[in-house]
Structure formats: C-alpha cells, structure tokens
Amino acid sequence: MRIKITKNLVLGVQDSNLENDSGDQFPVGEYLANLTPEGKIEVVNTKRIKALFSFSQFREKISLGEFIVLEA
C-alpha cells in the first residue's frame, strides 16, 4: 500500500545496518507500506530503514491525520 505522511515525523526505525532500533526522520511525502509476516505494518523510508507499527498504532496515526492511506 502507499501512504502519505502529512507532517515531519521522527519514528522509531529498524535499520538493517544497526543492531539496535533507533529514530529517524520521515519528512512529509509518500511512502510504501507493507504488511509483515509478523502482522505488523512497516513503513519504508529507504531500503535499509523501516518503521514498524501494530495495527492499532497505524490506525491511531491515521485518526490523528499523520498518515493518509493513498492506495490499499
């Protein structure tokens, strides 16, 4: 799916080159979002930086207007 982030956010991310989770900037724009096998939604900033959300966290971001689903 594609989503739009409506305001600059710093999200907890999973970086494939780091052992620990960290935070990274997700500027306003469109992003690819995928459902993971673990049942989480990952928002992809780059090939190596991904933010993971549970359905309730993702739904909360949508209700706050921080995320807009552009394409399911």
Write down the residue that tokens 């207007």 correspond to: 65
pLDDT < 50 regions, the chain = 18
Residue type for position 65: G
- HSE (side-chain half, CA atoms, 13 Å) at 55: 3
Provide the token pair at 44.
């992809």
The pLDDT tens digits of the residues spanning 7-27 come to 988 887 766 554 555 566 888
Total structural domains within the chain: 1
Provide the token pair at 2.
């594609």
**Residue 19's domain spans which residues?**
2-71
Per the confidence metrics, is the pTM higher than 0.85? no
In sequence order, the 6+-apart residues with CB closer than 8 A to the CB of 61 are 53, 67
